[in-house]
């Protein structure tokens, strides 16, 4: 701190605190709300001066706020990239300004030398977990198992990787077929809208794989509106395990959830302190997570924080 304008630890003049500029994806889901809360609460606890912006799921907004953080000479920049591509220029600008960048939650396809570290889940593994569950659930099927997939935001790391992990895993049983796959942008409203169309176009759907709880919850509304029973007439698997998802899982309206933890704040603040002090960071930090059946969801529901 101390307000030195051209030092790495300059930050806000006179505050003496480390200044972290954080660009969030948006407020598209329950997961995102929990992630934002975790970042804000952890910054306050760690005594870090947090500058927060919400990009509303638009890359151009994220690039603009990262540029503004560079101009303000924050100590560290962190962001959760909406999409994987298109970050080289702005990452080079941060590097030229000697401001370390921490990726949280989502990956970029830029060279790893352009950022300090990346903390977040293994999205491929999450897709594989759902795939393994589906193989087991439908192992005795003698005919085709029709699967529809609600994908996350087009071009985002979780949408790309969850699809990849899921589809590669179910490929071992030729009965399991993805008959339709469309983006629902990780939102409840889009999940409902797209599921409505999928139900109209496909008379027999056995399984819905939604890339997050929110799209699954939106789809449940569409399934009920079509006179079908979610979790029974159409099996449903999702990713995240936020409270609303876990509630539907415990009620057997969802059949399986692979967890994706949004609680990245505390670790992010530790990394921010190290980065501001110029300490070397591990390039990749993978979040620990688990999976839930309806019974497991019922057991942990009352103590679920988010
Ligand atoms: O990047 C994590 C994903 O983004 C979550 O799974 C989803 O709910 C959120 O919108």
What's the DSSP call for residue 287? P
Ligand 1 nearest-atom number relative to CA 213: 8
- Kindly state the greatest CA–CA separation across the chain: 71
* pLDDT at position 6: 42
28 lines ligand 1 (CB under 6 A): yes
Q: Which residues contact 280 (CB under 8 A, 6 or more apart)?
A: none
pLDDT digits (tens, 9 = 90+) for 166-181: 999 999 999 999 999 9
29 lines ligand 1 (CB under 6 A): yes
Give the C-alpha separation, 265 to 35, whole Å: 7
Asked whether the predicted pLDDT for residue 81 surpasses 80, the reply is yes
Tokens coding 127: 């897709």
Which residue in 118, 120, 22, 112 sits closest to 75, CA to CA?
Answer: 22
- 243-244-249-252 Cα dihedral, nearest 10 degrees: 140
Ligand 1 nearest-atom number relative to CA 31: 8
151 pairs with which residues across the strands? 183
Ligand 1 nearest-atom number relative to CA 240: 6
212 lines ligand 1 (CB under 6 A): yes
Query: How remote is the CA of residue 241 from the centroid of ligand 1, in Å?
Result: 11
pLDDT digits (tens, 9 = 90+) for 200-227: 999 999 999 999 999 999 999 999 999 9
User: Using N-to-C axis directions, what is the helix angle for 88-96 and 59-71, rounded to 10°?
Assistant: 10
Give the C-alpha separation, 154 to 151, whole Å: 8
Residue % of the chain over a pLDDT of 90? 94
Asked whether the predicted pLDDT for residue 12 surpasses 70, the reply is no
- Residue 92's SS3 state is helix
pLDDT digits (tens, 9 = 90+) for 96-144: 999 999 999 999 999 999 999 999 999 999 999 999 999 999 999 999 9
Asked whether the predicted pLDDT for residue 2 surpasses 80, the reply is no
Residue % of the chain over a pLDDT of 70? 95
Q: When comparing pLDDT for 8 and 295, which is higher? A: 295
Cβ contact 247:292 at 8 Å: no
Confidence band (pLDDT; 50, 70, 90) for 16?
confident
Which residue in 23, 68, 27 sits closest to 50, CA to CA?
Answer: 23
pLDDT digits (tens, 9 = 90+) for 255-271: 999 999 999 999 999 99
Asked whether the predicted pLDDT for residue 9 surpasses 50, the reply is no
ipTM for the whole complex:
0.99
Cβ contact 58:153 at 8 Å: no
Q: What is the mean pLDDT of the chain?
A: 95
Ligand 1 nearest-atom number relative to CA 260: 6
- For 131-166, letters b (16+ CB in 10 Å) and e give bbbbbebbeeeeeebbbbbbbbbeebbbbbbbbebb
Tokens coding 60: 């151009």
Cβ contact 228:202 at 8 Å: no
Asked whether the predicted pLDDT for residue 11 surpasses 70, the reply is no
Q: Which residues contact 171 (CB under 8 A, 6 or more apart)?
A: none
Radius of gyration of the chain measured on its C-alpha atoms: 21
Length of the chain as a residue count:
306
123 lines ligand 1 (CB under 6 A): no
Confidence band (pLDDT; 50, 70, 90) for 14?
low
């Amino acid at each position: 701190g101390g307000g030195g304008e051209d030092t790495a630890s300059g930050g806000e003049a006179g505050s003496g605190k480390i200044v972290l500029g954080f660009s969030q994806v948006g407020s598209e889901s329950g997961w995102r709300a929990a992630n934002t809360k975790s970042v804000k609460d952890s910054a306050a606890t760690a005594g870090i001066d947090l500058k927060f912006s919400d990009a509303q799921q638009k890359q151009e907004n994220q690039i603009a706020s990262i540029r503004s953080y560079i101009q303000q000479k924050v100590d560290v920049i962190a962001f959760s990239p909406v999409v994987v591509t298109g970050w080289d220029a702005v990452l080079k600008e941060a590097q030229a300004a000697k401001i370390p960048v921490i990726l949280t939650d989502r990956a970029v396809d830029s060279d790893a030398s352009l950022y300090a570290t990346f903390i977040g889940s293994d999205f491929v593994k999450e897709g594989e977990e759902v795939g393994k569950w589906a193989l087991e659930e439908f192992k005795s099927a003698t005919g085709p198992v029709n699967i529809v997939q609600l994908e996350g935001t087009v071009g985002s790391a979780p949408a790309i990787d969850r699809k990849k992990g899921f589809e590669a895993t179910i490929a071992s049983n030729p009965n399991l077929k993805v008959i339709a796959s469309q983006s629902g942008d990780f939102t409840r409203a889009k999940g409902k809208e797209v599921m409505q169309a999928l139900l109209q176009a496909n008379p027999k759907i056995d399984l819905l794989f939604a890339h997050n709880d929110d799209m699954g919850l939106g789809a449940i509304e569409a399934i009920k509106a079509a006179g079908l029973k979610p979790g029974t007439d159409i099996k449903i698997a999702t990713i995240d395990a936020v409270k609303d998802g876990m509630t539907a899982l415990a009620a057997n309206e969802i059949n399986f959830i692979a967890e994706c933890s949004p609680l990245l704040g505390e670790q992010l603040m530790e990394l921010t302190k190290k980065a501001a002090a110029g300490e070397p960071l591990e390039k990749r930090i993978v979040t620990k997570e688990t999976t839930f059946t309806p019974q497991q969801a019922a057991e942990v529901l009352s103590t679920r924080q988010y």
